[in-house]
Amino acid sequence: MQQALQRAWLVRGPLAIALWPLSLVLRGLVGLRQWLYARRILKPQTLPVPVVVVGNLIAGGAGKTPTVLAVVRWLQDEGWTPAIISRGYGRAPTAPPLLEVQPDSAVNLTGDEPLLLRLRSGVPVFVGADRVAVARNALTAHPEVDILVADDGLQHLKLPRAAQVIVFDERGAGNGWLLPAGPLREPRTEQPPARTVVLYNAPRASTPWPGHVARRQIGTLVDLAGWWAGEPATSAALQSLAHTHEPLMAAAGLAHPQRFFDMLSAAGLRFAPLSLPDHHDYATPPWPEHTAHVIVTEKDAVKLGPQRWCQAGARPQIWVAPLDFHCDAGFHAALRALLPSPPTIRIHDANPTA
């Protein structure tokens, strides 16, 4: 059903047309909520630090997580001390309402993407449904934090924001209809909202909105045990698998796994693809017993714990493929123009000269 909806969202075909009346309900609810905030009947809360919201106008993975990581790295280079806040999609009902994500946190309590963000960024990550409460919790626990990056939250209008980044992939706005008849969470306007930077996680712009194109590729691999230990991925590992004669499989529990498979193919790998549901839990091994090697995304890796999956001599050997995600200087300049100056400017040591 999920795949059928994804296909229906690209064109105004029979399934989308059948669901269109339901999308009018969402349009009405979204419109009313936006009107209430525009008339200041409802108001965003206030926070003592600026917030950068990274989100999607469309449902499904458009590249939000690697964008959050790229924004956090750039903010650190600019002199900020960031933390990340997130709802934590897929958390267990028994999870605490507010939670700081630790490197050894259980993924069912944090959600897969927040745990990945904590492991990859090294900055504090907090999760909870009420983003403002999560933000205040993060600032209380880490008073050194001077800026927050919200993983999703574009439609969470209660959350104040100094800037927001809207990410699109190759689908653009799809068929242009709201859920469930189309992929849009809210109507796409003629121009981007105020204080917005648009980023295309695609070879080129996929909507009429002006924006910046991110460059993405997979050029390195690291085995699962090394990934959990924080070891760097290497191109040598990728080249080794490119020449292996043993059975090789690539597994991806993503909304759009074909994007991952295409990047692996572009890196010179030959493999059997295994598409899994988005946020797949890996409760049982999904690959055939004879498989010698499996390549997974980092989002999958957080659910493959080292205690179970990294035993010496275990088969298959699991490899993690980090996504290299680079934003151009224009994107950084546009984001910088929306933010105040950081409270402290970091001074980088210069190389001594004779």
Q: Which run of H or of E encompasses 16?
A: helix 14-38
Q: Residue range 126-131: average pLDDT?
A: 96
Mean pLDDT of all residues belonging to the chain: 92
Tell me what pLDDT residue 46 has: 97
CB 88 within 8 A of CB 110: yes
Mean pLDDT of the region 191-209? 96
pLDDT at 313 (0 to 100): 65
Nearest to 72 by CA among 7, 30, 120: 120
Q: Which two tokens stand for residue 61?
A: 């993975």
pTM for this entry = 0.92
User: What CA–CA distance (Å, rounded) separates 55 from 5?
Assistant: 21
Would you say 121 and 84 are in contact if contact means Cβ atoms under 8 Å apart?
Answer: yes
Decide: 325 and 298 in contact? Cβ < 8 Å.
Answer: no
Residue 351 is predicted with a pLDDT of: 42
SS3 248: strand
261 backbone dihedrals φ, ψ, rounded to 5°: -65, -40
Of 217, 216, 268, 214, nearest to 243 by C-alpha is 268
- At residue 296's C-alpha, the angle toward residues 229 and 316, to 5°, is 80
Radius of gyration for the alpha carbons in the chain, expressed in angstroms and rounded = 21
pLDDT at 3: 74
What confidence category does residue 345 fall into, taking pLDDT thresholds of 50, 70 and 90? Answer: low
Q: Kindly list the distances between the CA atom of residue 280 and the CA atoms of 69, 108, 194, 276, 277, in Å, as whole numbers in the listed order.
A: 22, 12, 36, 6, 5
For residues 133 and 283, the model is more confident at 133
pLDDT band per the 50, 70, 90 thresholds, residue 354: very low
Q: Domains along the chain?
A: 7-214+327-338 (3.40.50), 217-325 (no CATH)
pLDDT band of residue 286 (cuts 50, 70, 90) is very high
220-236 pLDDT per residue, tens: 999 999 999 999 999 99
The one-letter amino acid code at 129 reads A
**Which pLDDT belongs to residue 118?**
97
Distance CA 235, CA 123 (A): 26
Please tell me the distance from the alpha carbon of residue 174 to that of residue 58, in angstroms, as a whole number: 8
User: d(Cα 73, Cα 341) in Å, to the nearest integer?
Assistant: 16
Mean per-residue pLDDT, 25-30: 96
Please give the pLDDT value at position 350. Answer: 39
CB 10 within 8 A of CB 125: no
CB 110 within 8 A of CB 84: no
Q: Is 127's pLDDT higher than 80? A: yes
Phi/psi at 101 (5° precision)? -80, 130
